[in-house]
Amino acid sequence: MTWDSFFSAEVGAAAALAGLIFVGISINLQRILGLPMIARRAFQALLILLGILAVVSILLVPGLNGTDSGSSVLVVAALLLLTLDLIEVNSWKEVTPNLRLLLFQHTVEIQLPPLMMLLGGAALLLGNAWALYWFLPATLLSFLVALIEAWVITVEILR
């Protein structure tokens, strides 16, 4: 199996999971809109999936060298991290004391995928032979976070 095969599979999986998030949002739209923190979580899940979709798409572009793909990945990952953090700041402004631990866990969870993307982008930029291996945990963590958020917006929101 080549990296192209892996990244092609991940593009399809990211798109499918983004669709799952949209279905979850549409099923529980009224409840989600009534809970701003949950609406932000759903949006962050979509952003994480779009981020990994963009990154693995960049890595599939034929003819890009390590410098070009590394710098492109760094830009996408940095913008993703910044956007996720800006959204998270609003949740921290509204959190009640009994939910602080859950929000802290969520904050850590959403940081991990873009941080792995940043490491992979930096490794590509520096010509590291193992650079592409950073995108395995980046992808898997992106999917895990998205699945957790899909669970929250489709099941937990009904409790």
Residue 138 is encoded by which pair of tokens?
Answer: 């980046």
Indicate the pLDDT class of residue 153, thresholds 50, 70 and 90: confident
The rounded mean pLDDT for the chain is 92
Report the domain count for the chain.
1
Please give the pLDDT value at position 156: 80
Please give the pLDDT value at position 159: 74
Reply yes or no on whether the pLDDT at 41 is more than 70. yes
Q: What is the pTM of this model?
A: 0.91
The percent of residues above 70 in pLDDT, for the chain, comes to 99
Give residue-wise pLDDT tens across range 81-127.
Answer: 999 999 999 999 998 999 899 899 999 999 999 999 999 999 999 99
Name the nearest CA neighbour of 140 among 49, 74, 58. 49
Reply yes or no on whether the pLDDT at 1 is more than 70. no
Distance CA 55, CA 135 (A): 9
Domain of 110, in residue numbers? 3-158
Indicate the pLDDT class of residue 158, thresholds 50, 70 and 90: confident
